[in-house]
A = this chain, B = another copy of it.
């Protein structure tokens, strides 16, 4: 049994796949008897190919030529972005070739069209590497938990954000300072917006929510809040209360609706997700039959991501000429719940003038909107004549919190917008 692979794009992930296929095809052969051979690479930037010995392998600068190459069985799209990636994937599927991709942005925006093309042509579209890099979360949710109602999924899905928050937590650094260092070390992109604004996590959240509930959760329905407003102080106050701050993708089912949201979240220090540190990813899933499971590993990086891409290729290759297995479906229609309807606990950090009576006014306004206080700490430290009041609420409705904050932040004694972080 053999499988000839074409790779479009030799950037970080594409390069990792090329390297893995060149060096470790023998491992796959040993384990499964299947010969997976890199047969064609398409890349417009010739310099990217310099590190690899591609003798005997067709090299072109035209992806459409690779897709049309009759010797290619499986096409890997690893250029990222929307176009021309989408065009290439559709062309490959229509040429009845299975496609493996790591393109989370494209999947978050166009999965229905791409999936349909795969089903129509009787081939597979696989994307294990698109969410959480090397972690087999797609396989876990679809295959391992196939008989389960997923009750909730909480994912640390962006290594850059987790790296920044970890250093803020354990080294007391400010967001901007860690970001600069992370960029210098190559852990963060320049500009870092896609990561730190939460968009990258939202792409993955949209994909996972769709898988968990056999539906389509469009990207526009995912609530997104990044980590740029998290300060050293919030991190420190959270820790005093026994929490660490993580950027979480939360996918949950609540009374006939789905929650799909990305925002900084206070995670109890003894929760396993709190142990997912630095650039690592971790996903915690709660379901009715398996109960809770957790999956951990590198969410990015050349080889870890390549490992996931190649696992998809191997799954396709092991099938040989056999028919594609029954495809997963996305036919359920489940509404996505508005963030205002969220029930949860909230960390609120008020920056106030250091005057008597301020705390009373805050508490009164929270009470007026039905927000009940679980704990309240007025901090001794005063910065530039400001005092900090940190309040942890009992479980309450988001819209009530927001209405209260709207009034509170308009008070003359409130010196900057209140920091609000949801609690797991």
A296→B276 CA distance, assembly (Å)? 13
Select A290's contact among B142, B147, B149, B304, beta carbons within 8 Å.
Answer: B304
Binds B, one of A27-35, A180-188, A233-241: A27-35
Q: Is A231 an interface residue (CB 8 A)?
A: no
Assuming the contacts A290-B304, A303-B289, A303-B290, asked whether A314 and B146 have C-beta atoms less than 8 A apart, the reply is: yes
Q: Is A145 an interface residue (CB 8 A)?
A: yes
Assuming the contacts A292-B297, A307-B290, asked whether A320 and B326 have C-beta atoms less than 8 A apart, the reply is: yes
Select A326's contact among B34, B135, B308, B331, beta carbons within 8 Å.
Answer: B34
Q: Is A293 an interface residue (CB 8 A)?
A: yes
A328→B32 CA distance, assembly (Å)? 5
Query: Residue on B with the closest CB to A298?
Result: B291
A289 cross-chain contacts in B, Cβ below 8 A: 20, 24, 134, 303-304, 306-307, 310
Select A291's contact among B34, B288, B301, B315, beta carbons within 8 Å.
Answer: B301
Contacting pair A148 B272 (CB below 8 A)? no
| A305-339 interface code vs B (CB 8 A; 1 in, 0 out) | 01110110011011110110111110110000000
Q: How many residues of A contact B (CB 8 A)?
A: 63
Contacting pair B149 A27 (CB below 8 A)? yes
User: Which residues of A from 259 to 307 have beta carbons under 8 Å from B?
Assistant: 272, 275, 287-298, 301, 303-304, 306-307
Contacting pair B33 A145 (CB below 8 A)? no
Contacting pair B146 A214 (CB below 8 A)? no
A32 cross-chain contacts in B, Cβ below 8 A: 146, 326-329
Copies assembled: 2
A146 cross-chain contacts in B, Cβ below 8 A: 27-28, 31-32, 310-311, 314
Q: Is A62 an interface residue (CB 8 A)?
A: no
Contacting pair A143 B33 (CB below 8 A)? no
Select A149's contact among B24, B275, B298, B322, beta carbons within 8 Å.
Answer: B24
Q: Is A411 an interface residue (CB 8 A)?
A: no
Q: Is A144 an interface residue (CB 8 A)?
A: yes
Q: Is A57 an interface residue (CB 8 A)?
A: no
Query: Residue on B with the closest CB to A136?
Result: B144
* 7 A-B contacts (beta carbon < 8 Å): A27-B146, A30-B331, A32-B327, A33-B329, A289-B306, A289-B307, A319-B322
